[in-house]
Amino acid sequence: MSSPFFNEPFSLSNEIVVITGGGTGIGLAIARAMTASGAQVVLVGRRARELEAAVKALGPKASFVVHDVTRFASASELVDRVMGDVGTPTCLVNNAGIHLKKPAVETTPEEFQQVLATHVLGAHALTRLVAPAMMAKKHGSILFISSMASIFGIPLVIAYTAAKTAMIGMVRGYATEFSPHGVRVNAIAPGWIETEMSRRALDDDPVRKNKIVGRTPIARLGASEDVGWAAVYLTSPAAKFVTGVVLPVDGGVSIGF
């Protein structure tokens, strides 16, 4: 077939991808997969040292900008910087987030608001700025990294659950507005992925780790690159008719018993 969609269905060449929270963990795994698929990536985060190390490892297709997504008033400065240094973004990955493990009755409104500010308002502040240029070109993709907490109840993470669930509503709302103009909006809901953070949480708690693996049909934790390659798929021409979806990358946890 002569169609480029079939010749290189997973190619991200000529794509400029902004990844928030891109210096470590799942964000960095997404960056690795996307650069391997041909994309130019811009990592966004608060810690310059981590971003510098990530860019060095990724190579010439990567750069970074230090930015806190909760500084809503500065979101336009970030977008202008990316456009000036690299070009107009064609993909935004809303991955930046914070975690709060605490009983619901002990979670203060201020703590709740901080979690929402990072996951929800920070994502919206950037999405509303990059979407117009994408729609003008009739080409773009916006991806949210949600969580299993948006699919079923998990104790002690009420603020995180609310934020990740809100993301799903945002995906559907944005998709209905943006998709007629060539911009697709999707989400990934990772399950238990083996990262530095999850290792700290589980290595000293074998009972909890065994419980998690026991309810995962694939019977192991996922790897960060599992999320990275899913992100490539949803951003690539292979998914050109896919919008408004939430893709669990969880080894079957959401359908297991």
Q: Does residue 255 belong to any structural domain of this protein?
A: no
Q: Does residue 154 belong to any structural domain of this protein?
A: yes
- The catalytic residue among 144, 160, 178, 229 is 160
Q: Does residue 157 belong to any structural domain of this protein?
A: yes
CB 147 within 8 A of CB 97: no
Q: How does pLDDT run across 159-204, given as a tens digit for each residue? A: 999 999 999 999 999 999 999 999 999 999 999 998 876 777 677 7
What's the chain's average pLDDT? 94
127 — pLDDT class (breaks 50, 70, 90)? very high
Q: Does residue 145 belong to any structural domain of this protein?
A: yes
> What confidence score (pLDDT) does residue 3 get?
57
Residue 40 DSSP label: E
| 16-20 and 40-45 strand pairing | parallel
DSSP string of 59-107, one letter each residue: -TTEEEEE--TT-GGGHHHHHHHHHHHT---SEEEE-------B-GGG-
Report the CATH number that the domain containing residue 32 is assigned in CATH: 3.40.50.720
Number of domains in the chain: 1
State what percent of residues in the chain have pLDDT above 90.
84
Residue 161 tokens read as 């659950």
Q: Does residue 156 belong to any structural domain of this protein?
A: yes
Q: Does residue 62 belong to any structural domain of this protein?
A: yes
Q: Which domain holds residue 40?
A: 11-249
d(CA 21, CA 65): 11
Is 160 annotated as catalytic? yes
